[in-house]
């Protein structure tokens, strides 16, 4: 289902159906995801329709740019760096691309979304919440519901630190897809309750295709600056 399509097509997998049909000289884009349906007329000659996973912070509406993943506690030794794997939620982005421009046509997901507060009620932030186990190897996932995050933690602090959550700024997120959806991220522990998080623009396996980023399609300038977690790591 992920990929590029030109002209009319129909792609169906489980509860998801995406199609472009021609009638009366016009192309009509239709999407069904469970009980949710969406339709839009496309006035175009040569445009391609692109379907790929996008930053999972857009539904049910634009609430936040932040993603929090919570997992069983990890105790990180001073000076140690380790790589584990987490799962993260997947959202679909549908784009229309011509020779001169690209635009977002639709965003959807077959899952429900949960949000949480990170920090204090007055100074904290709202984040998309997702719970994951911790894996030593790339786990099996439901391709259209969850992705795999290669997550490297480095403890630069002088003491052992417990970590059971990570918060990311989704503007920096780089997503790839192939046999599964994937992203690569890092956490650098600076203190018992302080850490820097960021994404790396590289897939965990070679040969994966890079997704179009929503911020690119929306012509929004974004600096890859990472995020400083100031409200605790667990």
Is it true that the peptide bond before 60 is cis, omega within 30 degrees of 0? yes
DSSP string, 21-57: EEETTEEEEEEEETTEEEEEEE--SSPEEEEEEE-S-
Confidence of residue 142 (pLDDT cuts 50, 70, 90): very high
Residue 149 has a pLDDT of 98
Task: Give the integer Cα–Cα distance in Å for 171 and 190.
Answer: 22
> What gap in Å lies between CA 224 and CA 171, rounded to an integer?
8
Please give the Cα distance from 106 to 211 (Å, whole number).
15
Do 70 and 129 meet the contact criterion of CB atoms below 8 Å apart?
yes
Q: For 180-205, how does the pLDDT look when each residue is reduced to its tens digit (9 = 90+)? A: 999 999 999 999 999 999 999 999 99
**pLDDT tens-digit readout, 53-103:** 999 999 998 899 999 999 999 999 999 999 999 999 999 999 999 888 899
User: Does residue 222 or residue 173 have the better pLDDT?
Assistant: 173
Specify the pLDDT at position 25. Answer: 78
**Token couple for 205:** 């396996």
Range in 164-168, 209-213, 218-222 with the lowest mean pLDDT: 218-222
pLDDT > 90? residue 36 = yes
Q: Is the pLDDT of residue 24 over 90?
A: no
Residue with tokens 């011509």: 98
Q: In this predicted structure, what is the pLDDT of residue 218? A: 66
Of 140, 162, 136, which is closest to residue 151 (Cα–Cα)? 136
> Can you tell me the distance from the alpha carbon of 160 to that of 232, in angstroms, rounded to the nearest whole number?
14
Mean pLDDT of the chain: 93
Letter string b/e over residues 56-69, b meaning 16 or more CB atoms within 10 A of that residue's CB: bbbbeeeebbbbbb
Name 41's Cβ contacts closer than 8 Å, sequence gap at least 6. 26, 27, 28, 29
Given this model, what pLDDT does residue 227 score?
A: 95
């Amino acid at each position: 289902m992920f990929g590029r399509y030109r002209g009319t097509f129909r792609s169906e997998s489980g509860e998801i159906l995406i199609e472009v049909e021609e009638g009366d000289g016009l192309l009509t884009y239709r999407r069904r995801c469970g009980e949710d349906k969406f339709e839009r007329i496309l006035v175009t000659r040569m445009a391609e329709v692109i379907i790929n996973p996008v930053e999972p912070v857009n539904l049910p509406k634009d609430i936040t740019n932040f993603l929090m993943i919570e997992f069983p506690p990890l105790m990180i030794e001073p000076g140690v760096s380790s790589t584990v794997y987490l799962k993260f939620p997947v959202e679909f982005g549908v784009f229309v691309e011509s020779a001169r421009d690209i635009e977002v046509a639709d965003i959807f997901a077959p899952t429900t979304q949960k949000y949480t507060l990170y920090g204090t009620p007055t100074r904290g932030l709202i984040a998309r919440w997702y719970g994951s186990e911790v894996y030593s190897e790339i786990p099996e996932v439901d391709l259209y519901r969850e992705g795999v995050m290669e997550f490297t933690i480095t403890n630069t602090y002088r003491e052992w630190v417990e970590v059971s959550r990570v918060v990311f700024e989704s503007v920096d997120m780089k997503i790839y897809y192939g046999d599964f959806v994937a992203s690569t991220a890092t956490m650098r522990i600076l203190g018992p309750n302080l850490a820097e998080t960021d994404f790396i623009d590289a897939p965990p396996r070679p040969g994966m295709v890079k997704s179009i980023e929503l911020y690119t399609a929306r012509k929004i300038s974004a600096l890859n600056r990472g995020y400083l977690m100031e409200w605790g790591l667990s």
